[in-house]
Amino acid sequence: MRSDFLKILAQRRSVQAYTDDRIARATLERICTAARQAPSGANLQPGKFHILIGSALQALVDRLEKAKDAGEPISSEYSYFPEQMSCELKDRQRRAG
């Protein structure tokens, strides 16, 4: 590999900066719509999004903080395909195959 490319890789970093700015619902909906078009296993796109605001969002944040504070393990299990694949998704999988 070229040394300049290796240098770029070595300098890679992730920066996360959060603000209290609200994001317009229409913007969130566009992001979710675009994400639904991303490739997935057998091109099934089985994902679904839930946009939480207000008390529903706060309840989730509270549950996550409580689990973290209690030292609950982080689950990293991931199924490539939905465990209970609907007939519609199974048909889409067959057509893509």
pLDDT mean over 51-75: 92
pLDDT at 83 over 90: no
pLDDT at 89 over 70: yes
Domain holding 26, by residue range, is 22-69
Is residue 1 assigned to a domain? no
pLDDT mean over 50-55: 90
| Greatest mean pLDDT range, 1-5, 10-14, 20-24 | 20-24
CB-based burial, 71-85: b 16+ in 10 Å, e otherwise: eeeeeeeeeeeeeeb
Q: What is the pTM of this model?
A: 0.52
Give 45's contacts (C-beta < 8 A, 6+ positions apart). 36, 37, 38
As for how many domains the chain has, the answer is: 1
Residue-level pLDDT at 80: 67
Is residue 13 assigned to a domain? no
68, amino acid identity: K
